[in-house]
Amino acid sequence: MSKAESADLILKLYDLRREPVMREARNWVISFFPESMQDIMQTMINAETSAYFRMVTSYWDMAASFVNHGAIDEEMFADAHGEHIVVFSKIEPFLAEIRETMGSPNYLKNLEMLIMRMPDAKEMLDKRREMMKRWMQTRAEMSKSA
């Protein structure tokens, strides 16, 4: 795979992220902070949030599969994206339980493989979760004062 082919696929992934419903789903996922498996199950019961959750997580797992199978250069993908890390950081603490509950041992396997290859992945995920919580708290405080 050439760098140009990787770049083309990355741009196609970007175009998919701009689709209106996907934008809504991504915005919802960014503000979703599960604290337990129960929070995730509540999300899955609600038709709208379930669709958003599934849309975003399956999108990033698909994108990760392209990287894992060599269709997209891993370094180029990492340079162009960070949202997949945020999404995975929210789910990672509950991943084993989700897989067990769903009866799907390969759920988000590609995304997990891609991210866990990163240096200090566990620590990075912890930091990303905390950073996103702070950002969302600040956003909430700003919207109250506006």
pTM for this structure?
0.90
3-state helix, strand, coil in the chain (%, to 5): 80, 0, 20
Which two structure tokens, joined as six digits, stand for 91? 């789910």
Where are the domains positioned within the chain? 3-141
Cα radius of gyration (the chain): 16
Of 72, 60, 85, 79, the C-alpha closest to 9 is 72
pLDDT in tens, 37-83: 999 999 999 999 999 999 999 999 999 999 999 999 999 999 999 99
